[in-house]
Amino acid sequence: MGKEVVKVDHVGMKFNLSQEKIDSIKEYFIKFVKREIKYDEFWALKDINFTLNKGERLGILGLNGAGKSTLLKVIAGVFKPTEGKVTRRGVLAPMLELGAGFDMQYTGAENIYLYGSVLGYSKEFIDERYQEIVDFSELKKFIDVPLKNYSSGMRARLGFSIATVVEPDILILDEVLSVGDAKFRKKSEKKVMDMFDKGVTVLFVSHSLEQVERLCNKAMILEHGRMLEYGEIEKVAEAYRKIID
Amino acid sequence: MKERIRNFFRYRYLLWELVKKGIKLKYRRSYLGIFWSLLEPLLTMVVLTVIFGTLLGHNEKTFAVYVLSGRLLYSFFSQSTGAALRSIRGNSAMIKRVYVPKYLYPLSSVMFNYVIFALSLIVLAAVSLIMGVYPSVYSLQLIIPLVLLMIFSFGVGMILATVGVFFRDMEYLWNVVLMLVMYTCAIFYYPDNLIKSGKGWLLKMNPLFCIIDNFRSGLFGELMNTKMLAYSAFASVFVLIFGLWIFYKKQDEFILHI
């Protein structure tokens, strides 16, 4: 086993579910005076601990609202955990919701540069890989069309092509292996598989146990923000089957 | 700290992209495009000069330069702070999905407005020459109020961006404050009478007025008022530090409120 790539140390994430959203100064003041500000505390994640070494592929299982996507966002740095710490080593390719940062008025070509820069690429890097992105997305004909005229499948294809043009050390996948039509899905799965072969560390969320068993070698089950089970895929998959039955 | 500086360099290309996006999208689909950033101040100047020139009886040729300079600096301030105020909420879709240093949103809003502002200074230069206001050695001073204006606007923008996340009212409230700022900036009147009657403090309390006054000094070939320079420099730096402080303190909570 190689070196530690992702380390999640006692991570907890708390949200305030206030019953009514207070977002005006007047309301806030009145409620403050009347001491009516209550926050419903809700721990979306609590006491999550694990480490992943290079090349390990973790599948995250759980029912809706178990905290799977929150966990991925904490690891990707979108949320800052309320407690605990996440350490990452290497280049991260977050494929959470593809195309966050796209501008609808921009053309496909402009969006390649914009979204690339959002992901932290340099201009030189995008220049170099521009052709590769266009080719993979198969959108050459539409590359100068504003994005608002794209279909959702085309947007997803462009997003996927931009996000996967790097050679990441850590790959975060949130049900993204289902973008585009059947042909593109096959192609994108192959691309992800190639990354697997290069020894990328993967965090993968899916509702399909079959998919997780096929792709991952480790797994965890989340329930109400807590880690119910963690370990080798066979053992966890068996436990998960019991839960869903 | 070292980490932060490294991060800044890592995302400098994104900053550039966001600035470019602001400029591009502002004028996209208008026939005259970026040319508007030259035409708009020119037209406003004509309106203001005609109305206030006749109303207040300022017939001197330099009044147009006076009005235009005040108007340009003020409108940069109002546009950039307004954009910064909306920047976090406006980009909520992005903030919720991908990690990007959050200060980039207000910073790029202020910067793209500064680029447009810088372009409109060309108009000011042209109008000055036509109206017989020629550059002199005092023109070198201009750089100081221009830098202070940027610092001050960015500082105010950071504060507004932070407050705007938690209180939606801020957008409306800020428009009222901007009106007060505008009338105490002496854009289309001479402040002399007000100062003589002992109510000059009303203007001098406003750092933006001090910046505009210093700018006009450079323009019309006078030495800057040192008191106003010191006050506006102090206010700018103070606002910047306070803005950065409050932004960094609160930025991790943004995501829970947008």
> In chain B, pLDDT over 90 holds for what percent of residues?
61
CB B161 within 8 Å of CB B106: yes
A83-88, strands of its sheet edge to edge: A41-53, A4-16, A83-88
Of A135, A166, A197, which residue is a domain's last?
A166
Instruction: Indicate whether A66 and A155 sit together in one domain.
Output: no
CB A58 within 8 Å of CB A52: yes
**CA–CA separation, A85 vs A136, rounded Å?**
36
pLDDT the model gives residue A179: 64
Of A151, A166, A181, which residue is a domain's last?
A166
CB A75 within 8 Å of CB A173: no
Q: Any CB–CB contact under 8 A between A106 and chain B? A: yes
Q: Which residues of chain A have pLDDT under 50?
A: 1
- Residue B218: pLDDT above 60? yes
Whether this model's ipTM surpasses 0.85 comes out as no
Instruction: Indicate whether A103 and A199 sit together in one domain.
Output: no
Q: What is the CATH number of the domain that holds A220?
A: 3.40.50.300
Instruction: Indicate whether A83 and A146 sit together in one domain.
Output: no
Instruction: Indicate whether A21 and A68 sit together in one domain.
Output: yes
DSSP assignment of A105-148, as one string?
TSBHHHHHHHHHHHTT--HHHHHHHHHHHHHHHT-GGGTTSBGG
Contact across the interface for B99 and A77, Cβ inside 8 Å? yes
Of A120, A146, A166, which residue is a domain's last?
A166
Which one of B9, B14, B29, B169 makes the best mutation probe of the A interface by having the most chain A beta carbons within 10 Å?
A: B14
* Nearest beta carbon to residue B21 from set A79, A96, A114: A114
pLDDT the model gives residue A22: 62
Q: What is the pLDDT of residues A231-242, one digit of tens each?
A: 898 898 888 888
- Residue B239: pLDDT above 60? yes
Q: What is the DSSP letter of B223?
A: -
Q: What is the pLDDT of residues A155-201, one digit of tens each?
A: 888 988 998 888 888 988 887 666 667 888 888 888 888 888 888 89
> In chain A, pLDDT over 70 holds for what percent of residues?
89
* Domain housing A142: 99-166
Instruction: Indicate whether A182 and A82 sit together in one domain.
Output: yes
Closest residue in B to A98 (Cα–Cα):
B97
Instruction: Indicate whether A113 and A76 sit together in one domain.
Output: no
DSSP assignment of B192-206, as one string?
HHHHHTT-THHHHT-
Total CB pairs under 8 A between chain A and B: 70
Which has more confidence, B16 or B30?
B16
Query: Which residues, in sequence order, are bridge partners of residue A94?
Result: A172
Number of structural domains, chain A?
A: 2
Q: What is the pLDDT of residues B84-96, one digit of tens each?
A: 999 999 888 888 8
DSSP assignment of A132-196, as one string?
HHHHHHT-GGGTTSBGGGS-HHHHHHHHHHHHTSS--SEEEEES-TT-SSHHHHHHHHHHHHHHH
pLDDT the model gives residue A176: 63
pLDDT the model gives residue A39: 63
